Structure 1
């Protein structure tokens, strides 16, 4: 896929998850048709249709295998130009099972939202694979799907998987189906356009969440609508550009801004970090440890958090040990940092922060959550309700 950004011709890629989904769909189709398929069309969530060549198609009765080659576009990573295979075996169980084979890593530690011992495949990718296969085989049949990547273990050495407790291969964790190559300025401008659109519609209150590139993830939309009982129409993605998006909220005249999302991402703001990409700042555990210490946590507790591999593991440990009050303290510091950054603005919005765990459990807020929601859902001067 070719697009233009700042007069430069750039290529979009597609994720390992979309390759696994496409390969599984092809394999299922080949079984039913008993015919080799050499090309598949894949329509992404952005409405773009890809025509992808099928690698190594093979049919063996009620089992078939197919592969799709990954493509990172202009954002090349360790999995670029790598074959992702799917082996599908039909049965009469009515149930679709999905697992990882050769080259797909296994979860060895808690903290990634996946069970220890399972294949490192994000639930969104699993859902996409299951939906693609079910669409082909119908409701009555069942299927066993195995995703594998012969080069996976070697390629994984160039990733952070080992640090995250993923061993034996790559992870299929992309929650998007395409990779968007954009300059930082183009990316920020695209995010700001979403804010401008919502402000034009009369919204004076906005929820900002980390998002999924340019949009909220499906999990974040559910979080806003189910956990906060607010329409996702009142929410926008800020990606890693927290400071920029807050400045845009000031420019556009929003009265109330609520930062909502995974504490593992938002905790950085409590340290005054307003660009949250891990390449810029990777200090979540340090922030947690500093604030736990201020609350009087013993050294043994601080050391245990320091030894955690991921922020999610640290959060689980903090809750288990009964120190959840640290999240309220961090939420308050997030708002203090925001107010400091915006201290010279004449129309500074009210800012709140609501922290959730990776699986959308409430952790803490800077003030009572009911007060935040009451202020947010109050009828605005423009007559727009949440």
Structure 2
């Protein structure tokens, strides 16, 4: 079967998309269910992904027994291959005495050992959207063949334990393998040069249209928060992905009068430490930054040690709340962020920031943020 033929334009490049481990798992589960219920394995299956894009994938390595069947799908990362590109994702479907569909992880799929992730402690690291996709595909196979019994689905990745060492899973407390991921089902290429090129083109177009004041968000979280919570008009807005430094540099070079940065605390606390490319492969430093500001604000050793062991910034905020330090630490973090942004932008462009979390809402605003926000009314 030929490569997945779906392309997007990123900057001046035309890049081929791929599909996620979640899509692979759902497709393999559909194939294994078909083999179990009908005795025949189709050569391929078509999956409608949450992104609204259909993916047709070849089914590989079928095997079956009296009450079970298994097959695999090969992961395709498109023009953005990651650690899992090319690996086989297997699904084994077996009859169960329990009604309904149950989903678990097998060999090479990690287990969650720490709270704060998509799945609870003890569960297989198969995120909720892939679980929904798997259940939908197996349910469709059951309906097609008139089956109303129970089925158990086990997803595995024989190379997963080795591949997981190339990911952040061990640090996150996911042990024994990779995660089955994907909110859209589609892998969109992340060529660094192309993304930076695309960012610059967006800003060039805003400048050409006469914009003098712009809003920048790293991605979807920031855009949604800016629009739905802050009530900003985003007629003069662009995304910068992880390339916050590049966004500031290019905007200043184009002569924009002001830039308002709106982002999740998980990204902007990195910027407060001087990290201007926030991709986790380049730098992280979230826990170290939060620990530093907690210590500066009087946090005791026990609090700092607990912060250092956290997985998410939401968990860190909860710890700061418990220690009575949230307000002081967020103020300290805001001051550091303000200094870093103004140092990067220089004197010719005003720059301010608002950072938030989806759980806690606004966590910090630099001194002039409200003034810049007022330049972007909902009608703009």
Does TM, scored on the shorter chain, surpass 0.5?
yes
Q: CA RMSD in A?
A: 4.2
| CA gap 1:94/1:158 in 2 versus in 1, 3 angstroms | same
Aligned match of 2:194: 186
Q: Map of 1:165-176 to 2, 5 A cutoff?
A: 165-176=173-184
Give the TM-score taking structure 1 as reference length. Answer: 0.76
Tell me how many residue pairs correspond in the alignment: 370
Aligned match of 2:316: 314
Aligned match of 1:39: 44
2:280 aligned residue (274, 278, 281): 278
Post-superposition Cα deviations, 1:65-102, rounded to whole Å, max 9, x if no partner, equal 32101234555444233211123457899855433223
- Paired residues of 2:106 and 2:157 also in contact (CA < 8 A): yes
| CA gap 1:133/1:239 in 2 versus in 1, 3 angstroms | farther
Give the TM-score taking structure 2 as reference length. Answer: 0.77
46-55 or 271-280, larger mean C-alpha shift: 46-55
| CA gap 1:248/1:5 in 2 versus in 1, 3 angstroms | closer
Q: Map of 1:4-83 to 2, 5 A cutoff?
A: 12-30=17-35, 34-42=39-47, 50-58=55-63, 64-73=69-78, 75-83=80-88
Query: Secondary structure of the equivalent of 1:172?
Result: coil
| CA gap 1:354/1:54 in 2 versus in 1, 3 angstroms | same
Query: Secondary structure of the equivalent of 1:170?
Result: coil
Post-superposition Cα deviations, 1:323-348, rounded to whole Å, max 9, x if no partner, equal 22222432343233212211233xx2
| CA gap 1:60/1:181 in 2 versus in 1, 3 angstroms | same
Structure 1 alignment gaps of length 5 or more = none
> 2-side partners of 1:134 and 1:349: how far apart?
55
- Paired residues of 1:327 and 1:355 also in contact (CA < 8 A): no
Aligned match of 2:167: 159
> 1-side partners of 2:94 and 2:222: how far apart?
34
- Paired residues of 1:334 and 1:353 also in contact (CA < 8 A): no
- Return the offset for 1:196: 5.5
| CA gap 1:229/1:176 in 2 versus in 1, 3 angstroms | same
- Paired residues of 1:111 and 1:311 also in contact (CA < 8 A): no
2:240 aligned residue (229, 234, 238): 238
> 2-side partners of 1:131 and 1:252: how far apart?
51
> 2-side partners of 1:66 and 1:75: how far apart?
25
2:108 aligned residue (97, 103, 111): 103
Structure 2 alignment gaps of length 5 or more = none
